[in-house]
Amino acid sequence: MILPERLKRGDTIGVIAPSDPIIGDNIEELESARKIIEKDGFKVKYSKNLFLNTNEYSSSAKEKAQDINEMFADKEVKMIWCAKGGENSNTIFEYIDYELIKQNPKIICGYSDITSLTNMITEKAGLVTFSGTNFKTIATDETDYSYKEAIKRFVDTDLEIGQAEEKYYTIQEGRVEGKLIGGNLSLTRAMVSGKYSINFTDKILFLEELGFETGPALASNYLYYMKQNGVFDKIKGLWIGNYEHESGIALEKIIMDVLGNEYNFPIIKSNNFGHIETKTVIPIGTKAKIDTRNQVKIELIEKCVK
């Protein structure tokens, strides 16, 4: 795996919008996030097409890809932060210059729909990428938890996942090591097969989902699709994040309804990633260890920035 360089205060952070458009209130929210970042000692550079809405539901796939490619090529930019999530970052897969990324590795971070993009970059370019707060969310979150987690990972190179007092729950016992992969359930499901699929073999899979958009039956649909296509035969461990639905049905219940007692890999649950205030930064492509005997049941065991 290719490691990106750590971030230093004084560095320039590039902001791109590879998913939904930056329109309406998002513009002010982005500017608020920019002020927070600049006050903390960083410079911010917006991509050329950041505020375009060419298709009236987002900028075009080629415009988004142009911004990604130019940000990776830009020697001034030391980190790329995705502005917000949405629904169609996968449209740019075929237009990304993966060889350019290999030659110009740098931190790229986001969550929700962005995990489609970050997983694909890790798969195609071999670069460690990151599931963490989006740029806009720095300003819209009620706390600074997620921003502090980003600074901890990218600037301080700290490997701690979340905060020490957070609770982890054992769904199924075990101890394994493997590289991390995953993010949003619906997007991970979409990369199970086809030209732009990702390799699940010997990975620790982390999953979360937005209950507002994905009810229990649809989550079950996604998980059964993954099961039917052999994903759970390949992975070494499963880490479940946040899922809140009005029914009160938990994601771990849905997962165990699907898995039954057919698999013996460890399964753990925590509430420090997903569509939630507490978003730790999870490196995609870095080796981690699950040990359900420990209080903190997952830990990073190799560095993710250099």
Which CATH number fits the domain that encloses residue 55? 3.40.50.10740
Say if residue 184 is in the same domain as residue 265: yes
How confident is the model over 32-54, as a mean pLDDT?
97
Say if residue 91 is in the same domain as residue 17: yes
Say if residue 178 is in the same domain as residue 149: no
Say if residue 19 is in the same domain as residue 141: yes
| Distance in angstroms (rounded) separating the CA atoms of residues 193 and 48 | 33
Of the candidates 179, 227, 210, the residue with the CA atom closest to the CA atom of residue 279: 210
Number of H helices, E strands in the chain: 10, 13
pTM: 0.96
As for how many domains the chain has, the answer is 2
Say if residue 228 is in the same domain as residue 196: yes
Report DSSP state, residue 101: H
Exposure on the CB side of residue 34, measured as CA atoms within 13 A: 15
Partners of 240 in the β-ladder: 207, 269
Say if residue 147 is in the same domain as residue 205: no
Give the pLDDT score at 244. Answer: 95
Does residue 112 sit in helix, strand or coil?
Answer: coil
Residue with the two structure tokens 């097409």: 49
| Domain boundary pick from 124, 154, 184 | 154
Range of the domain at 32: 12-154
- The tens digit of pLDDT for each residue in 102-161 reads 999 999 999 999 999 999 999 999 999 999 999 999 999 999 999 999 999 999 999 999
| Domain boundary pick from 154, 183, 203 | 154
Starting at the earlier edge strand, list the strands of the sheet with 237-240: 168-172, 267-270, 237-240, 203-208, 175-184, 287-291, 298-300
